[in-house]
Structure 1
């Protein structure tokens, strides 16, 4: 047994993804690492939970037929180890911006950990020019993995988790000596809705059961505007004056424009804001 922390490692790209393998190597130098990760890619599921999951042993720990949050739930409540921290990643692609963070399976694992009383760190990787790491096998996840291991170690030693539930980190794979910036998720989201032509859709997109549209039904496309101004798969955060003006210093997206490491401390308790107006409404509600 190591003298270091007991670490539960998971991800949302699946247990066979290159990012988690690289991160495991770095974390084993820090403490005892147990992997509980999804069988297959679970990107974009947030902290969705399942009622049942199939568990199989793996040389690193366990592979699970469920979501990242399922993996964390099983690791923290289904195993006998008392874990000191949960680490999720390295994710193939960044999780930056308030809306993206909320739907990320990588971050969702950390949120599940925090609700179960265990501190967590979610680490995601991006390329300052290519942005999306595709195919991931052609990129080196070593730098984000090293950064994550160092942050975990320092955060545990310094008492960071006395005040913070989860650290969400985005690190470049290509910048040789990127600065590390304290950030907050940028609040930027839109939704575009437009009618869809049923003739251009697959049968499964029209109806999960293969049924036909009724006369009073229609299909609509719902497009998340998570990367404003982006067409296709281009880099949404190029190092331009336009993007530096759009994203203020101190936000995770500005850090990515500057090819930096973004470290955002998050609280996941859904704390209620004080509202004098709401207090007055509650006091005056007539239930008769």
Structure 2
């Protein structure tokens, strides 16, 4: 799908509409298109592709499945916000509402910028950030998920900390028209190294398939340990050189071109296009 030269951009996230990452993207993307924000009214991280559809709402955080529901339509409450619309729902709710209810319809969906990297094939169905981009792709709308590594970063994040992520996203969105990029890919998963690191270019990558999650019983309680994040915090991870996590640990911006649901596309063809954009 070819992008318009002055695209209508739907911006969403999973950290909530008041998060600094979405503000940084909002400011940067206005230079390359018209931006409408439809984002969760609070943090909805790691909800994956969850929907509010068909679920009860006895309290703001209760999304219990209502097996007795006899309606095919579910309300998704929202309030006006200075950036757009704050939705009492999930990132995928926001993507569906934004793609189908806005007039004019968006030409592209941008999800992020997430505070924390979304690296590896295993994370796609778990991450709210990537899930919103994937939802848009299923609805035949090109999309970009954008995340920033924050492991080892001390201090409260501000919009300025996401400047690198915002700039590269705006450059891709602004440069994509006429390249055929989104004829080849359904969505991009972009991960940016943590703030303060010296820029080291970018890499066209594939999501790593290395996955280590451990579980133990300690004093009668189950414990989960994410060994990958443990290793990544030490900047020591066994990923092949062409993968997303390897690139980020090398200080590079990782750009993974994908087709729904998780397929990697011809990276060499996409590399040529991205090189022309960046």
TM-score range, shorter chain: 0.7 to 0.9
Instruction: Give the distance between the partners of 1:98 and 1:140, measured in 2 at CA.
Output: 26
Q: Map 1:269-280 onto structure 2 (within 5 A).
A: 269=261
* Residue equivalent to 1:212: none
Distance 1:138 1:77, change over 3 A: closer
Distance 1:134 1:93, change over 3 A: farther
Instruction: Give the distance between the partners of 2:227 and 2:23, measured in 1 at CA.
Output: 32
* Residue equivalent to 1:202: none
RMSD: 2.3
9, 21, 24: which is aligned to 2:23? 21
Greater relative contact order (Cα < 8 A, sep 6+): 2
Q: CA deviation at 1:194?
A: 2.2
Q: Map 1:47-196 onto structure 2 (within 5 A).
A: 47-51=49-53, 52-127=75-150, 130-131=151-152, 135-137=156-158, 140-172=161-193, 173-196=195-218
221, 232, 236: which is aligned to 2:233? 236
Secondary structure at the aligned position of 1:136 is classed as coil
Secondary structure at the aligned position of 1:96 is classed as coil
Unaligned runs of 5+ in 1: 199-218, 272-288
Detail structure 1 runs of 4+ shifted over 6 Å in the superposition: none
Q: Map 1:257-268 onto structure 2 (within 5 A).
A: 257-268=249-260
45, 61, 64: which is aligned to 1:43? 45
Q: CA deviation at 1:265?
A: 0.8
* Residue equivalent to 2:14: 12
Instruction: Give the distance between the partners of 1:74 and 1:158, measured in 2 at CA.
Output: 28
CA contact (8 A) 2:10 2:35 kept: yes
* Residue equivalent to 1:34: 36
Match status 1:221 vs 2:223: yes
Length, aligned pairs only = 238
Q: CA deviation at 1:190?
A: 2.7
TM-score with structure 1 setting the length: 0.76
Larger Rg: 1 or 2? 1
Q: CA deviation at 1:175?
A: 3.3
Instruction: Give the distance between the partners of 1:115 and 1:38, measured in 2 at CA.
Output: 20
Secondary structure at the aligned position of 2:125 is classed as helix
* Residue equivalent to 1:211: none
